Amino acid sequence: MNNLSFKLITVFFFMSAQFVAKAQLLNELKTSFNNYNQNVFQEKIFVHTDKEQYLTGEILWFKVYNVDAVTKKLNDLSKVCYIELLDEKNKPVLQSKIALVAGMGNGSLYIPKALLNGSYTFRAYTNWMKNFETNLFFEKKITILNSLNSLVKSSPKTEIDLQFFPEGGEMIEGIQTNVGFKATNSFGNGVDVRGAVVNQKNDTVARFKSFKFGIGKFSFTPLPNQTYRVVAVVKKEIINEQFPVAKKQGYSLSLNDGERITLDVATNLQANKVYLMVHNNRKINIAETATILEGKASFAINKSKLGDGLSFLTIFNESGQPVCERLYFKRLSSKLKIDANPSFTSYNVRKPVDVNFSIKNEKGDPITANISIAVRRIDSLQGMDQSDILSYLFLSSEVKGNIESPGYYFANETQESNEALDNLLITQGWRRFSWNVVRKNQSPSLQFLPEVNGHLITGKIKSKDGASIKNAALYLSIPKVSNQFYQSTADENGNFVFNTKDINGVNEIVVEAIDTTAIISVLSPFSEKYSHLSSYDITPNEKEFNETQFYSLATQIQNTYSADRLNQFSQLVVDTAMFYGTPFKTYRLNNYTRFRTLEETMREYVTQTFITKGSEYQIRLLGKDVSLNGNPLVLLDGVPYFNMNKVMKIDPYKIERLEIIPEKYYLGSGVYEGILSFFSFKPNLSSIEINANAIVLDYEGIQQQREFYSPAYSSAQEINSRIPDFRNVLYWAPFVGVDKDGKGQVKFYTSNFAGTYIGTINGLSADGTPGVGSFLFQVRDETKQKP
C-alpha cells in the first residue's frame, strides 16, 4: 500500500467516524426527547373569567376549559379542577373545587369584604398537573379593590424595571448580538423607553427605543475587557444603571425571518460542529448539523417544516449541551372566526339586548364549538384587554412571565404585530421543560394520580411511635350522605387513597381504621407549591379612585336589594342509592313491635341474622344457601362499627330502618361477610360511637353552582320599578348553545349603569381549534339615575 492510499484511507475512516458521531448525537437527542414526551401526558387549563378587576362584595364568575396540551382538544381525564385565589405572599384566601365534565366546568367566587387592596393570583389546576412545575398551572392576575381599606388618592408611582435579554441567551465578547429589552412600571405594564449604551469613556456605542409595550431590540457588540452603562429615559425619569456583562467565551445566535428562516451561530471557542433541534407541540420538526468555519455556522430553515404556533430552536455543542435557545412563532393556519353583533349599537337603560353570533373555521365553513360569553362595562379600572383562550393556548401558556395584552398579537396579523411578537419572544423564556432534564432520560416523578372519577382523598397512617403502618385497612364515611362508604389499604409507606365520587358541598367525613391506636392524617388536595408571578401596586390615581368609590356604592346597593337573587344555587343531582345497591331485605322498625335492646329486636324478627353471645357478640348473616363465616360489615348512618358489643349498645328507638345484604360483598380490596346497614331517624354524628383515633373533619367537595342573576324587564311595571339595578356585568353564560350551522343567540337586559360595554366570547371546537370574538355597544341613561 503506497503512502497516498494510506492517507486517503485514514481520511475516509476519520470522516466516517465524524459522521457516525454526528448521527449518534442527533439520534440520542431525538430518543431522549421522544421518550420524555411519550411518557408524560400533560393537561393544559384555560379559565375564562367575566372580568379581571373586582371590588370586595362582588362575584367572580369563571369557566374552565381543560385540554390536552398537545392536541388542544377537550380532555376528559380529570374530573376535578382546583381553584385558588392567592394574595401577594402566595397565601390562599379562597379555595374551591369544580366538577369537570367532558373537560369543562364552571363556578363562582364571592370576593369577601375583608380582603385587602392588592393584586391576587387566580390559579387553576388538576391533581394530575401537580406532578409538574407550578408554572404549568393556569395563572393570571386579578386586581381586588376594597374602598374601605386605606383607599387613598395617590400620584402614580414611577418605579421602572428595565431588563435586557441577549438573543439566544448570552452576550459574548467580540460577537455582534441582538439584545432584547423590556421596560415596565410598578403595575407590570410596559412603558415607552429610549436610551443608549455607553462605554467607560461615556461614548455611545448603541441606541435603543421601545417598539410596543415597552419592548424592543437593538444590535450591540461588547468589546473585550470593557464594561458598559445604560442611560435611558421614561417620560421625565432618567435611568442610569450598569449594563449586563458579556461572557468571555461562548455561543451567540441570530434569527432572520424572510421567505426562509436563517439561523446564524457565532462562537469564539475552538469548535467544529453545532447541532440544531427544532420542536413544536412535542414533536421534533428539524434535526440538523452545521460546520463552524472561522467561528460561524448557519442553518436555513424551510418554514413549511414548522408546526403552527411556537417552535423552540435549540443549538447544541459537540458535547450535546444546549448553548443557545430561541423562540419562533409561525402564524396559525386554523382558528375559529367568531362574529357577534348586537341588534343596535346603543340602548337605553333596562332595555333588551339581542346578540346574534356565528362561528366559522378558517375556510369559512360553519362549525359548532363550546363557547362562553361575558358582557361587562369598560371603564378606567378595566379596559378592553382581557386574557383569551386563543392567545393563552398558543402563547401565554408556553412562555414564562406576564404578557401584556396577549390578544394584541392575534387580533391583527400585520407587519407591526409580527415584529412586536418577535421582540416579545426574545424577552420571554419558555416553560414546558428543560433539555438538561430531557437528556437525563428521567420521567417526572408521578406522585399524584389523575382524578378520573372524583375526589382522591389521601392521607397517612402511623403508629404511636411514628412508624408507618403498611397494609392497614382504612374506611371513609360521610354520615350526612350515608350512601357513600369507601375502603382503602395503605401502601408500604402508610399512604392511603380513597377514590370517591359525587362529594358535593361541605360535608363532615369520618376516616378510621380497625387499629384504634393508629394515628391518621388527611392531606389537603391543594398544591403547596407556588410560582412567582410578580405583584404590582394597585393604589389608584384620582380618576380610578373616583371610579372605585362610584362602583363601591353601586355594589353595596346591588347587594342590598338583590341579595336573595345573587345567592341562588342550582339544585345538585345526587345519587341517593346506597353503594351496595338494592338491599335483599329492608326492615322498617315502626312496622314491628319495638324492643328495649337491639339484640332483642334482631332476635325477634330479623330472620337473616344469627347472634351468639360470649365475651363478645358474634353476628352471622344467613345467606340463601349457607351461613356466612364472620361478622358482617355493620354501618350506622354510613359509619362502620367493628366491635359487635358496641353494635348491640345502639338504641333501637333511634333507628328508622335496617337494610341487609346477606351475601359476600366486595368493596375495593375488602371482602365482607354481608352488610347490616342501620339508618337513624335523624342522622347525627354526635350520637355515633366512633373510634378514638378516627379523624372527623369538614371536607369541602364540589362547589355548588351559583346562578347568574340577570333580571328581565319585559313589562312597564318592571321597567319603572324603583328597585335600583347597578350591575356592571350584564351577562355571564359559561355554556351557550350553538346549532349545527354554527349560529346562536343570547339575550339580556341593560342595567341603570350607562357607559360602554364589551362582550367577550371564548370558544373551542371539538377538534381543538380555539377562537375569540367580541362586540361593543353603548348604554345611555336618559333618567340620569345614579347610585
Cβ atoms 37, 440 nearer than 8 A: no
What residues does 180 pair with on adjacent strands? 165, 217
Which three cell numbers mark 98?
Answer: 369544580
Name the residue ranges covered by the structural domains of the chain. Answer: 1-33, 585-700
The set of residues, in sequence order, having a beta carbon less than 8 Å from that of 754 and lying 6+ positions away, is 349, 779, 780, 781
Q: For the full predicted model, state whether its pTM sits above 0.85.
A: yes
Residue 147's pLDDT is: 78
What integer pLDDT is reported at residue 16 of this predicted model? 44
Residue 77 CA: distances (Å) to CA of 48, 763, 765: 20, 20, 18
Residue 10 CB-density burial (10 A; 0-12 exposed, 13-18 middle, 19+ buried)? exposed
Domain 585-700 -> CATH class: mainly beta
- Which of 138, 146, 147, 145 is CA-nearest to residue 49? 138
pLDDT tens, 218-270?
999 999 999 999 999 999 899 999 999 999 999 999 999 999 999 999 999 99
Confidence category of residue 455, pLDDT binned at 50, 70, 90: very high
Once rounded to an integer, what is the mean pLDDT over residues 281-298?
A: 95
Cβ density class 236-262: b for 16+ within 10 Å, e for less: eeeeeeebeebbeebbbbbbeeeeebe
Q: What φ, ψ does residue 173 adopt, rounded to 5°?
A: -55, 130
629 versus 124: the higher-pLDDT residue is: 124
Give the span between the Cα atoms of 597 and 594, in whole angstroms. 9
Reported as a single tens digit per residue, the pLDDT across 704-713 is 889 998 899 9
The fraction of the chain above a pLDDT of 70, given in percent, is 90
Cell match 410596543: residue?
Answer: 212
> Does the pLDDT at position 482 exceed 70?
no
Give the confidence band of 187 by pLDDT, cuts at 50, 70, 90.
Answer: confident
Closest CA to 638 of 455, 475, 496, 523: 475
Task: Give the confidence band of 331 by pLDDT, cuts at 50, 70, 90.
Answer: very high
